[in-house]
Structure 1
Amino acid sequence: MIDLHCHLLPGIDDGAPDLAAALDMARMAVDDGITTVACTPHIYPGMFDNDSAGIHTQIQRLRGHLAAAGIPLKLTWGADAHAAPDLLPRLKAGSVPALNDSRYFLLEPPHHVAPPHFDAFVFALLAAGYVPVITHPERLSWIDDHYAMFCALSDRGAWMQVTAGSLTGRFGKAARYWGERLLDEGRVDILATDAHHPQRRPPLLGEGREAAAHWVGAAEALHLVETRPLGILENWAPEAMPQRPRSGRASRGSGLWRRLFGHAA
């Protein structure tokens, strides 16, 4: 499996606090069946002022430590880029890294406040030739009032990344509900761990894949954690990717029954 959202680099954001934690997370990822991780620290102006050059330097250092520890985990780069007004020019300038220098990049909306004109902001990124991968929409406190907007963004070409742990209840009932609904309605492009810590936010992707398979089947669950993530790293065009199932395995009514009662009608 390929994890495209992981705060593995030690000491540069709210992820792995030190090298020991980063190595523990790397071992856990390998044990879970993850072969490649995109190191995606926050870029949040005024809070986490990371940039491409610093991220690349930290990845090179961590690669050396992984090799010395005998941990067979491949690393690539990216960032969890906050939806800041200057994001597009910084992407164009290269100071905010896309995932493996592709057209795809992680876009993090604010967690607790819906930003004004967020849809127009995303459309401008799409018009510039990028594919924003909106991170963990299911965990946003404002998704219930703006769900239709996320559907419209998905229809217009934005991608959605759901956190694997949301589908297993690690982030509470609301995140699980919205994650399952997005899956059931064919809105999820990839799963990722969004791991931050070996104990509190571990890099476990397999459990999310298994949970997703109950909703969309094993083949689509594989696309969520392998095929589309690989396509991102290789910069495939969106139309060359496996297309999302538009309504999951079942009808919307059956999906609603599963969300309420935990099994198909």
Structure 2
Amino acid sequence: MIDLHSHILPGLDDGAADLSVSLEMAREWVSDGVTTVACTPHILPGLYSNTGPGIRLAVQKLQRILDCEDIALRLVPGADAHIVQDFVAGLRSGRILSLADTRYVLVEPPHHVAPPRMEEFFFNVMTAGYVPILTHPERLTWIRSGYQTIRRLVQAGSWMQITAGSLTGAFGRNAQYWGERLLDEGLVHILATDAHNMRARPPILSEGRDRAARRVGAA
């Protein structure tokens, strides 16, 4: 399996606090059947001042350590990029990273307030040649009022990524309901752990995958 959203890099954001946690998380992924993990620390000016070059360097360092520890996990760079005005310029300059240097890029909107002109923002990202992936829409507090916007984004070519733990109830009934509804309506493209640590946000993908398979079929 491939996990396309994780916060395994130690000390870069609210994910793994130190190297020991990163190594625990890596071993758990391998145990869960995951072979490749996208390292996607937050990029949010003023709070998480990560940049593409810094993330790349951290991924390379952690990969060398995993190799020395004989942990069979491949890391690729990425970012959980929050909506900012110069988003496309950041992608073009390399300050914001896409997933593994592809045209697919994670986009995280504000959790409690729907951003203004959201459809225009996603349209601008797509016209620049990228495929924006809205992260964990099922966990947004405004999903009920913004659900039709999410549907239109998918119809226009954007992707949706839901969190595996949402389907297992780890984020509460509301996130589980919306995660299942998105699945049932064919609006989900990616299932990821969004793992931050070994306790509250563990790197377990298989349980969510199995729940998704029971609802929409293994294929």
TM-score normalized by the length of structure 1: 0.82
Query: 1:263 aligns to what?
Result: none
Contact 2:161/2:191 (8 A) holds in 1: yes
Q: State the shift of 1:151 in Å.
A: 0.1
**Map of 2:114 onto structure 1:** 114
Q: Deviations over 1:87-132 (max 9, x none)?
A: 1110111111111111001000111111111111111111111100
Query: Structure 1 residue 70: deviation in Å?
Result: 1.4
**What residue number does 1:209 align with?**
209
What one-letter code is carried by the residue in structure 2 that aligns with 1:154?
V
- Tell me the equivalent position of 1:49: 49
**Distance between the aligned counterparts of 2:68 and 2:130, measured in 1?**
36
- Residue aligning to 1:66: 66
Return the TM-score normalized by structure 2.
0.99
- Aligned partner of 2:198 in structure 1 is 198
What one-letter code is carried by the residue in structure 1 that aligns with 2:151?
Answer: C
What CA distance in whole angstroms lies between the structure 2 residues aligned with 1:198 and 1:59? 19
Contact residue 7 and residue 195 of structure 2 kept, 8 A: yes
Structure 2 distance, partners of 1:47, 1:75, is: 24
Distance between the aligned counterparts of 2:7 and 2:22, measured in 1? Answer: 9
Q: 1:210-254: CA deviations, max 9, x gaps?
A: 0001111011xxxxxxxxxxxxxxxxxxxxxxxxxxxxxxxxxxx
Shift of 1:56: 0.8
Count of aligned residue pairs for this structure pair? 219
Residue matched to 1:153: 153
User: What is the correspondence of 1:68-107 to structure 2 with a 5 Å cutoff?
Assistant: 68-107=68-107
Aligned ranges 1:1-265 → 2 under 5 Å = 1-219=1-219
* Long gaps (5+) in structure 1: 220-265
Q: Following TM superposition, by how much is the alpha carbon of 1:82 offset from its aligned partner in structure 2, in angstroms?
A: 0.2
Which segment is superposed worse, 91-100 or 155-164? 91-100
Shift of 1:47: 0.5
| Structure 2: stretches of 5+ with no match in the other structure | none
Determine what percentage of the aligned residue pairs are the same residue. 58
Which amino acid is 1:49 matched to?
S
Q: Map Cα deviations across residues 46-104 of structure 1 (whole Å, 9 max, x no partner).
A: 10011111011101110111112111100001000001111111011111111111100
Taking the aligned partners of 1:113 and 1:65, their CA distance within structure 2 comes to 39
What is the CA–CA distance in structure 1 between the aligned matches of 2:148 and 2:46, rounded to whole Å? Answer: 31
Supply the distance in 2 between the matched residues of 1:85 and 1:17 (Cα, whole angstroms).
Answer: 29
Question: Over aligned residues, Cα RMSD in angstroms?
Answer: 0.6
How far, CA to CA, are the matches of 1:209 and 1:62 in structure 2?
26
| Displacement of 1:180 | 0.2
Contact 2:53 2:94 in 1 (8 A): no
Question: Based on CA coordinates, which of the two structures has the bigger radius of gyration?
Answer: 1
In structure 2, the partner of 1:254 is: none
